[in-house]
Structure formats: structure tokens, C-alpha cells
């Protein structure tokens, strides 16, 4: 894992963290010179600056035994942290020195997080240090870090011992600090006090002029600076030749070749955030220019939106820093789009609190915006259109937290297959990237929809109506056909249309031919008033959670009168109400979402009900593995990839060793290379045994499996027959102890380079591909999540004593699923893993056949170290 990264400070500024290099010595001395005498005393005790200068020489000298990190802010070295292993190699001394000017910005905490993560991954179990009792700032950092810290006070000093254990508390502390920093960095962009428009043309057809015009017409209340070196005024405002000084936000609308110089000018002027509208970067062979643009911004502490985007909108701040052709409608939906065209379409149809067109996502992404919108009082619903994930696993963690407060809706384009592989395991053949996305967002409670129309339908409902308390729906309308279609759609989507008790009061006031049991069909003769009465009666029913009103114009009192009646009948409703005015989409009285067709309304309602159920379900603590748990597996993977840098399928012995590092239960096996050794192995294991060929991916398809061999002679003959049948692809065999009968389950996983790991559970054995009965999740997994995966399977009754079969140990299977998840989460080099079958008996869940393919892979970003992507 690369330790070089950009990080956000508490105030939203940006620093760069990297390992110390010998060439940093001069800047280390400069850091010491800028350090106050008191800070030098607190770090080096009585030696002060002279000791500090001498120590900096040791840090960069050949033979230094520790590990040191530095932090660079705005081009200047502003902090250094280190740990040095002691004689007890599991313990290391640590220390941190910061520039006085950055103290209080959270940089010391960041350095400590990164040092702790690096130390733990290299076998250190404790960091120790001696801190002066008067050094309250450092003691506060240690108390708040989220790790278990022991403080031993000894007069003027405090001996500190930091236990390096991954815990939910540590993860929560890190995420809370990251959230605070993200909010601070984006607040200056999404709610700026001052905006400069660079490229503010006098030509109304040019983008820069459109942005300025939108800012003026939208009533932006802050300072506004049109920048045009060739004009004295633009749109009636004084124009400036360059950004006049520090501003919160600069919108760049100049040709791509000029953007880098403009960005450098903005950095020099002290701009806090850039929105680059210009195209011609990574989307068009300009990746190097885009990387340089980002580097300019990061070194100056600037957050960047774009390039190649439409701009941004914040209706509560009256900010329209975009070139959208229509004025935005203020509402409660926050919207992010990676596509400008999709963003413009959504903006024309939704009432928004804010809108960000991220374009190429060089910096600010959906993850960043989720952090901001989580606490945004103007936002009730978050809607995202994504073409790619920058950090999928981080997205899942943030979205799951945000989703407990506000619904997160997602359209993710690219539902394509995973592409052909030269050799596929069962799991790899079944697990496409889109299935991985579904598993990711399902676990995070994200409401994934298939189309822009679905996104609009669902966002309108969730922004305007309370979530349904349950799945019981009353259908009220004036036409039986659409109501029957709605009832059918409810059944398909897991909603219930219960029969309602007879209501004499309602029957006396509606047409005599009306059917009142549910659906409530008032017939085409029903007036607007009668429809309103039926809505009120349905809302009053204790056994109803939501009401769907269906009106087919022009019958009854007509569309205007009926819409008004719907609005009046639902004005004080505390339950969910949706409407279908056949053929017309929109809102009724800005409160009741109305859809053109019944299926639209039902699908949106079903999504709201499912989200509410997820939101109110008990929240499992995160599954967190120890830093030390994966060390055994990493050693095996490193050794194998050293021998075969391109990876490949592991042999059975190494496969078994790797799985045992993570306590995955496997059947006792012996690898053999001929008939005689196979017979000897059977005698050692105890008969009966199973013989399996090594080499073929799908052994049973080519006759590579023989079960129930009862004598060494049978084993010997079975090996000869198998070798003749399979041919040269057979590289040997394994002899296994015969496992008792049980339910055959497949358990496996894949690792995608850009996405991460995915775990699969399904019906196993030779029917695994035929029945396609599978469930997927993204690790790490809790036992509760593993149990959900089992319950998802259509074959799950077989595990619970179906038709008097013995009840299988689902607890043992759950443990196996969790352990496989840990393996895949810890080892991204495990590209494919198949345990097929896992035999689940009343006492155990034992993998009797296992295959693992390794491939080179970069380690994923650690959730225990903050970094900007």
C-alpha cells in the first residue's frame, strides 16, 4: 500500500503525507527553526531546539531503524512523525513534531493514524512514548484517537502505551474526523461567500456569460467577480483582469489549454475551490493535463469540481454557478450527476436543494458529497447518477451511515457482463461487476433504480411524503382496470392489498355500484368529493400504511376538481399517499407525487417501503478483523507471487494452507502423484475415501472424481482409470477422507481490481450452475449478514430439515461464510475462490473441494487511514 497520499485537515485544508526521504533534511531543519521554544521543549524536553536539530540529522542518516512520515502543506514541510521498534520487536517508540502554525488542525492525529496503521501491518502491537504532563494538546490527541491508550503519570511526565487493535470504536473515530474535514472543505464551495467567474464573456452565447447571468438572475447574495482581461465590464458589472484576491469559489470557463495557468493564478490568489467547466481533459486524451490540474489544486489546498462539468447549484444559498438553461426549482433533493446530460434532465424535473455536476470527478466525488449532504438541513433525499465508483467500499461505508438518516438513491450505468476469462471458477462465472454493485448498495441500504424515470419517481415520493410504516396499501379510484393493475403490481413488489372491513358510512355516500373491499372502485360516476371521502376513510383504517389514489380523467368531476379533492383529503395525513392520474406525471399541491401509470406509483411505493424496513432494522456492528489475523495468508501469497509473478491456480496443498490461515474448515486430504501413493494415502486417512484429479477446473465434468472407494486396491485402480480418462491435464490427485452425507453448498468469491471482493453462497455440487440459486454480499461480513445470505437461497429449506432430512448446522456454515469473507477482504490477490461443495452436516460445514487463483493486485485503501483519492 502506498503511504503517499493527500489528506484533509480539520479546517478543510489539504496536506500531503509521505515517507521521509534523505533529501528532506534541509526542510526538517527549517521546521525546527520555525518551531517555538515551547514546542521544541514539549517534544524534546530539556534539549529544546538544539536537540531537535541533532535529531533531524539522525532521522535522515543511513542505518535509521525506524519509520518516519512527513506532512507537507502548501509546499512546506509542516510535520514529522516516527516510530522506532524497541528490543521487543512488537513494541515501538513513537513521537510527532508539528509546525506551530498547523497545530489544532488535526495534522498530528492524521500522522498518528498513519503511523499506527503502518506499524500494525508490520508486526508492531504497541506504540509507546513519554509525554510531558503539561503537553495537553498531545495528550488530547492520544485520548481521542480511538485506540486503547494507557496513561501512567509519573510526576512531570506521562508514559503512554497505545494498543494497536482494530476496533469499531477506532473506525468510528476516524470516520467522524473525516466527516468533519469533508464538511469544512466543501462548505466553502457549496455555500460560498464570494464567487469569481473566470472567462466571463460579454457574448451571451458563451458559457462564461451564461454562468454569470445565472448567478445574477438567481440572486446570489455574496461578492461576485467577473474575470475578463479584455473587458472593463460584463453584464453591467465591473470586470477584473484576474481574480482580485482570496475568494471561496472560482468558476473556470476558458478553453482547456488555458485552464492550468488559470488554476495556478487561483492558487496564488488564495482561492478555496474551483469548478472547471472546460472540456478537453481525461475524457478526451487529456489525462496528463487533468493530473497536473489536480496536483495544482492539492498543493494549494483547493477542492476541485470537474473538469468537464455543468457547474453547481445551491438553492438555499441562491447560488446557480452553472450554465443550465433553466432556473432551478428549490426543493429538498440533493442531486449529483456524473453525466451533464442526465444532470440537466433531472434538474428540469426535480425540485432540488443543491446540484453538483462532477464531470470527470478528478477530485470531488459522490463520497465527498454524501459527507456534506448528511448534515445539510436543506436536504431530505440524496439522488446520485454514477458511471463509476472511485472507492466503492468507502462509498458503502458512508452511504450506510448517511442512509440511516436520509435515503440515498442511485442510478449506476454500465450493467455489463464481466467479460471472458481464460479460466473461470463457478463463482467468477456467476459474479458480474453489476452483481457486485447490487450487493454493495443492498448492504448499504442504497435504493438502486434502473432508470432516470425511476429515480425521479422515487425521489419525488421520498422528498414529499413520510415513509410507509409497513407494506399494507389501500387502493382508491374511479376505474377498475387500472386499480386491478395496481393490485397486481403490489403483489409482484411485496406490497399487501388487505381486504377492508365494510363501512356503512362510506357506502351511503358513494355510488351504489362501488366496490369497497379494497381495491375501492368508486366507478366512473364518482365525484371528486366522493373520491376525497374514500381517501379519508382509507387513511383512517388502522390496518393501512399507505394509500394509492387512481383517477382516470375526464370522468367524474374532471381532473382539476379531482386533484383539488385529493389535496384536501390528504392535507393532514400522517400516512404515505401517492396518486396516479392516468397519463399525467407531476405533483399535486407540491405534496402528493402523481404518476402517469399505476405501476410507476407502486414501484416507487415499494422502494420506499423496502428502504424504511432497512432503515429500522437493527444495525450490526461493523465486521473488523485484527491487523495480525491476515499475516499468515499474506506470507503465503507473497511467496507464491514471487515464484509466479503473473499468478495462477494454487496447488491443493498451498490452497489448504491458505484457507487454514483463516480457519476455513477443510476435509483432511493427502496429495498424491500415482496409483501407489494414492493407495498408501487411503490407508493413512482411513477408508472409505474419495479420489479427485488435480489440474482440471471442473473435475466432475471430465470424470475426475471417484467416491466411496473402500480398499487400497480400489483406490489404485481408480487412479489408473482416471488418468486414462482425463489425460495430460491431470497433474496428480488428492485422496480425501469420505465426509458423511449432507447438503451440498457452494461458497466462493472473486476480487475485482476496481471494485474489491465479493462473496457468493449458493446451491452446490454439479447443479451449482444449472440452478443458479445464489446470494452475494460484499465483505467484511458479520454472522447476521452471512445468515441473511443463507436465507436468500431457494434451497435453504434443505438446511432446516426439509421432508424429515436431518437438520444441518447453519451455524457452522455461517462461520465458514464469515471466514471466507475475511480471507477475500484481507487478500486482494485472491482473484477467484471456489469451495464446491461445502458439505453441511448436522455437526459441521466442511469444504471438500477448493480452488484458489492468485493474481497480482494493489492493496485496497485502508479504512483506518484517511486519504483523498
Measure Cα distances from 429 to 34, 432, 769 in Å.
60, 7, 9
CB proximity list for 559: less than 8 A, separation 6 or greater = 551, 553, 581, 584
In this prediction, residues 332-346 reach a mean pLDDT of: 96
Q: State what percent of residues in the chain have pLDDT above 70.
A: 97
- pTM listed for this prediction: 0.91
CATH number at residue 161: 3.40.630.30
For residues 194 and 341, state if they share a domain. Answer: yes
Residue 426 has pLDDT above 90, yes or no: no
Mean pLDDT of 669-674: 92
Task: Calculate mean pLDDT across residues 19-35.
Answer: 95
Cα-Cα-Cα-Cα dihedral sign, residues 369, 373, 379, 385: positive
Query: 414 and 283, same structural domain?
Result: yes
In a domain, 232, yes or no: yes
Buried b (16+ CB within 10 A) or exposed e, 252-268: bbbebeebeebbeebbe
Mark whether 338 and 398 lie in a shared domain.
yes
- The number of distinct structural domains making up the chain is 5
Whole-angstrom distance, CA of residue 219 vs CA of residue 499: 53
Say which CATH number the domain at 208 has: 3.40.50.720
Can you tell me the mean pLDDT for 161-174? 93
Looking at per-residue confidence, does 869 or 237 come out higher?
237
Query: Which residues lie below 8 Å from residue 680, measured CB to CB, with a gap of 6+?
Result: 672, 712
Mean pLDDT for the stretch of residues 364-390:
95
Q: Say if residue 308 is in the same domain as residue 455.
A: yes
**3 state SS of 199:** coil
Q: 420 pLDDT exceeds 50?
A: no
Residue 385 included in any domain: yes
pLDDT at 622 over 90: no
Q: Is the pLDDT of residue 334 over 90?
A: yes
Flag whether pLDDT at 418 surpasses 50.
no
Q: What is the pLDDT of residue 421?
A: 39
pLDDT at residue 755, as a whole number: 83
Regarding whether 331 and 289 lie in a shared domain, the answer is: yes
455 and 534 both lie in a single domain: no
Model confidence at 309: pLDDT above 70 = yes
Instruction: Check residue 521 and give its pLDDT.
Output: 96
Residue 818 lies in a domain: yes
> Per-residue pLDDT tens for 693-752?
988 877 877 889 999 999 999 999 999 999 999 999 999 999 998 888 899 999 999 998
Residue 825, domain CATH: 3.30.470.20
**For residue 389, what pLDDT band results from cuts at 50, 70 and 90?**
confident
Average pLDDT over residues 294-318: 97
Report the candidate in 736, 734, 737 with the shortest Cα–Cα distance to residue 719: 734
| Domain C-terminal end among 461, 483, 502 | 461
Residue 865 lies in a domain: no
Give the side-chain half-sphere CA count within 13 A for 406: 25
Asked, for residue 631, whether it belongs to a domain, the answer is no
Same domain, 438 and 347: yes
pLDDT of residue 449: 96
Domain assignment present for 322 = yes
- Could you tell me if 713 and 757 lie in one domain? no
644 part of a folded domain: no
Return the pLDDT at 429: 66
What's the start-to-end Cα distance of the chain, in Å? 13
Same domain flag for 383 and 480: no
In this predicted structure, the answer to whether residue 272 has a pLDDT above a threshold of 80 is yes
**pLDDT for res 625:** 73
DSSP symbol at 164: -
- Write down the pLDDT at residue 49: 83
Distance, in Å, from the CA atom of 854 to the CA atom of 744, rounded to the nearest integer, reads: 25
Q: Do 224 and 97 sit in the same domain of this protein?
A: no
Q: Indicate the residue among 738, 764, 781 that finishes a domain.
A: 738
pLDDT at 700: 78
- pLDDT, tens only, 130-166: 999 999 999 999 999 999 999 999 889 999 999 999 8
Residues 456 and 550 in one domain: no
The predicted structure's pLDDT at residue 427? 64
Mean pLDDT of the chain: 93
Considering the domain boundaries, does residue 213 fall inside one? yes
Rounded to 5 degrees, φ, ψ at 295 are: -60, -40
CATH of the domain at 569: 3.40.50.261
Note whether 254 and 199 are within 8 A (CB).
Answer: yes
- The pLDDT confidence band at residue 788, using thresholds 50, 70 and 90, is very high
The domain boundary, picked from 616, 638, 657, lies at: 616
Q: Are residues 36 and 103 both part of a single domain?
A: yes
Q: What are 39-71's pLDDT values in tens digits?
A: 888 888 877 788 889 899 999 998 899 999 999
Give the CATH number of the domain where residue 690 resides. Answer: 3.30.1490.20
Host domain of residue 752: 743-854
Amino acid at each position: 500500500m502506498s503511504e503517499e497520499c493527500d489528506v484533509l485537515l480539520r479546517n478543510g485544508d489539504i496536506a500531503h503525507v509521505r515517507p521521509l526521504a534523505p533529501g528532506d533534511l534541509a526542510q526538517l531543519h527549517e521546521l525546527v527553526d520555525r518551531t517555538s521554544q515551547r514546542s521544541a521543549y514539549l517534544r524534546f524536553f530539556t534539549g529544546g531546539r538544539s536537540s531537535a536539530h541533532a535529531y533531524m540529522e539522525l532521522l535522515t542518516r543511513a542505518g535509521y531503524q525506524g519509520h518516519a512520515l512527513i506532512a507537507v502543506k502548501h509546499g512546506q514541510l509542516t510535520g514529522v512523525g516516527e516510530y522506532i521498534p524497541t528490543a521487543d520487536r512488537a513494541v515501538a517508540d513513537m513521537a510527532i513534531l508539528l509546525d506551530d502554525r498547523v497545530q489544532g488542525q488535526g495534522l498530528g492525529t492524521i500522522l498518528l493514524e498513519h503511523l499506527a496503521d503502518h506499524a500494525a501491518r508490520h508486526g508492531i502491537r504497541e506504540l509507546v512514548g513519554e509525554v510531558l504532563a503539561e503537553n495537553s494538546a498531545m495528550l488530547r490527541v492520544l485520548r481521542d484517537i480511538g485506540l486503547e491508550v494507557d496513561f501512567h503519570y509519573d510526576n512531570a511526565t506521562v508514559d503512554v502505551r497505545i494498543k494497536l487493535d482494530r476496533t469499531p470504536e477506532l473506525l468510528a473515530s476516524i470516520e467522524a474526523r473525516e466527516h468533519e474535514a469533508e464538511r469544512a472543505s466543501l462548505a466553502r464551495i457549496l455555500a460560498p461567500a464570494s464567487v469569481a467567474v473566470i472567462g466571463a464573456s460579454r457574448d451571451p452565447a458563451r458559457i462564461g456569460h451564461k454562468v454569470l447571468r445565472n448567478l445574477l438572475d438567481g440572486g446570489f447574495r455574496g461578492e461576485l467577480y467577473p474575470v475578463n482581461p479584455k473587458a472593463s465590464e460584463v453584464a453591467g458589472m465591473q470586470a477584473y483582469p484576474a481574480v482580485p484576491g482570496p475568494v471561496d469559489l472560482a468558476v473556470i470557463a476558458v478553453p482547456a489549454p488555458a485552464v492550468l495557468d488559470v488554476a495556478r493564478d487561483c492558487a496564488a490568489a488564495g482561492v478555496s475551490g474551483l469548478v472547471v467547466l472546460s472540456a478537453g481533459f481525461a475524457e478526451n486524451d487529456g489525462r496528463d493535463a487533468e493530473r497536473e490540474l489536480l496536483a495544482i489544486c492539492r498543493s494549494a489546498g483547493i477542492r476541485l469540481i470537474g473538469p468537464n462539468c455543468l457547474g453547481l447549484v445551491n438553492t438555499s444559498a441562491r447560488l446557480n454557478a452553472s450554465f443550465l438553461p433553466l432556473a432551478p426549482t428549490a426543493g429538498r433533493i440533493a442531486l449529483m450527476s456524473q453525466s451533464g446530460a442526465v444532470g440537466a434532465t433531472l434538474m428540469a424535473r426535480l425540485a432540488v436543494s443543491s446540484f453538483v455536476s462532477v464531470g470527470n470527478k478528478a477530485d470531488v466525488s459522490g463520497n465527498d458529497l454524501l459527507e456534506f449532504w448528511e448534515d445539510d438541513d436543506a436536504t431530505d433525499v440524496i439522488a446520485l447518477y454514477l458511471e463509476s465508483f472511485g472507492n466503492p467500499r468507502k462509498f458503502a461505508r458512508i452511504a450506510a451511515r448517511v442512509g440511516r438518516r436520509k435515503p440515498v438513491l442511485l442510478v449506476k450505468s454500465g450493467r455489463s457482463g464481466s467479460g471472458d476469462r481464460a479460466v473461470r471458477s463457478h463463482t467468477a462465472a456467476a459474479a458480474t461487476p453489476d452483481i457486485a454493485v447490487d450487493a454493495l448498495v443492498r448492504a448499504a441500504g442504497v435504493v438502486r433504480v434502473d432508470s432516470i424515470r425511476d429515480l425521479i419517481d422515487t425521489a419525488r415520493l421520498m422528498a414529499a411524503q413520510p415513509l410507509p410504516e409497513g407494506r399494507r396499501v389501500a387502493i382508491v379510484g374511479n376505474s377498475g382496470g387500472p386499480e386491478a393493475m395496481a393490485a397486481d403490481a403490489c403483489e409482484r413488489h411485496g406490497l399487501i392489498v388487505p381486504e377492508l372491513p365494510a363501512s356503512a358510512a362510506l357506502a351511503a355516500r358513494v355510488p351504489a355500484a362501488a366496490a369497497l373491499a379494497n381495491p375501492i372502485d368508486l366507478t366512473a360516476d364518482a365525484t371528486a368529493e366522493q373520491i376525497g371521502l374514500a381517501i379519508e376513510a382509507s387513511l383512517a383504517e388502522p390496518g393501512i400504511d399507505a394509500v394509492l389514489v387512481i383517477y382516470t380523467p375526464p370522468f367524474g368531476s374532471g381532473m382539476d376538481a379531482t386533484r383539488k379533492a385529493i389535496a384536501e383529503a390528504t392535507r393532514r395525513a400522517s400516512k404515505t399517499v401517492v396518486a396516479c392520474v392516468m397519463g399525467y406525471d407531476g405533483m399535486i399541491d407540491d405534496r402528493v407525487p402523481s404518476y402517469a401509470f399505476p405501476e410507476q406509483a407502486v414501484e416507487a411505493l415499494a422502494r420506499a417501503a423496502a428502504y424504511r424496513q432497512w432503515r429500522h432494522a437493527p444495525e450490526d456492528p461493523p465486521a473488523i478483523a485484527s491487523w495480525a489475523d491476515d499475516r499468515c495468508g499474506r506470507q503465503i501469497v507473497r511467496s507464491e507471487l514471487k515464484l509466479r509473478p503473473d499468478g495462477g491456480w494454487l496447488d491443493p496443498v498451498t490452497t489448504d494452507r491458505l484457507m487454514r490461515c483463516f480457519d476455513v474448515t477443510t476435509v483432511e486430504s493427502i496429495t498424491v502423484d500415482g496409483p501407489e501413493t494414492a493407495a498408501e494415502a487411503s490407508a493413512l486417512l482411513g477408508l472409505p475415501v474419495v479420489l479427485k484429479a488435480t489440474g482440471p477446473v471442473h473435475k466432475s465434468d471430465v470424470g475426475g472424481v471417484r467416491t466411496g472407494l473402500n480398499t487400497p486396491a480400489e483406490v489404485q485402480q481408480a487412479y489408473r482409470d482416471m488418468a486414462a480418462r482425463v489425460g495430460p491435464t491431470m497433474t496428480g490427485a488428492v485422496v480425501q477422507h469420505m465426509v458423511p452425507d449432507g447438503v451440498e453448498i457452494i461458497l466462493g468469491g472473486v476480487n475485482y481490481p476496481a471494485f474489491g471482493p465479493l462473496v457468493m453462497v449458493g446451491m452446490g455440487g454439479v447443479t451449482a450452475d444449472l440452478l443458479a440459486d445464489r446470494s452475494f454480499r460484499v465483505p467484511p461480513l458479520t454472522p447476521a449478514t452471512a445468515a441473511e445470505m443463507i436465507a436468500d437461497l431457494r434451497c435453504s429449506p434443505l438446511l432446516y430439515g426439509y421432508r424429515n432430512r436431518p437438520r444441518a448446522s447453519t451455524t457452522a456454515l455461517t462461520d465458514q461464510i464469515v471466514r471466507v469473507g475475511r480471507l477475500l477482504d484481507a487478500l486482494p490477490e485472491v482473484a477467484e475462490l471456489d469451495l464446491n461443495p461445502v458439505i453441511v452436516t448436522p455437526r459441521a460445514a466442511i469444504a471438500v473441494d477448493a480452488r484458489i487463483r492468485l493474481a497480482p493486485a494493489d492493496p485496497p485503501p485502508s479504512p483506518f487511514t484517511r486519504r483523498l483519492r
